Amino acid sequence: MNTFEAKIVVIDTHEHLSMVRFDVLGQTISMVSLGLDEEVKVGCSVVLTLNPTQLIVAKEPTVMLSITNQLKATIRSCENGILLSSVKLLVGEVELESIITREAADRLELKEHDSVTILIQPSELSILKVLSC
């Protein structure tokens, strides 16, 4: 499971649905939440979590996408198995892992030090814990 720290910069709520925006090393990402915990407020530092199979790796995106969470990253390593590949990525000092198919890793020709964009659906992020407010 990927975990990383972020700071809450905006919370928009309508009824029980909230869109929470975070700063992650100067880049902004968003999360959709149903029934946001009362202790979660703008200015809080939190730990976010994301399943490695939900982190998408893109090289040179050339089309507009509906995925709003797009972070610039560098490949630290790409370990290819028979069916799956584990791609270790650095966003600043934060290391994340993406599990993708071996076919996708081969097609993208992923290698150490490549610059990539990682894509995360807002519905796939969740707050693991609040660190401070």
CB contact burial 56-71 (16+ within 10 A = b; e otherwise): bbbeeeeeeeeeebbb
**Segments forming the whole domain that contains residue 91:** 2-132
CATH of the domain at 8: 2.40.50.100
* Number of domains composing the chain: 1
pTM of the model: 0.87
* Contact in structure between 11 and 20 (CB atoms under 8 Å): yes
Supply the DSSP symbol for 83. Answer: S
Confidence of residue 6 (pLDDT cuts 50, 70, 90): very high
Supply the DSSP symbol for 13. Answer: E
Six token digits for residue 75:
């490949």
Other beta carbons within 10 Å of 127: 20
d(CA 11, CA 25): 18
Six token digits for residue 40:
């979660």
Six token digits for residue 55:
């982190």
Q: What is the pLDDT of residues 100-114, one digit of tens each?
A: 999 999 999 999 999
User: What's residue 61's pLDDT?
Assistant: 63
**From edge to edge, which strands make up the β-sheet containing 17-24?**
27-34, 17-24, 2-14, 45-50, 126-132
Q: What is the pLDDT of residues 13-23, one digit of tens each?
A: 998 899 999 99
Q: What is the pLDDT of residues 76-100, one digit of tens each?
A: 999 999 999 999 999 999 999 999 9
Helix and strand numbers (H, E) in the chain are 1, 10
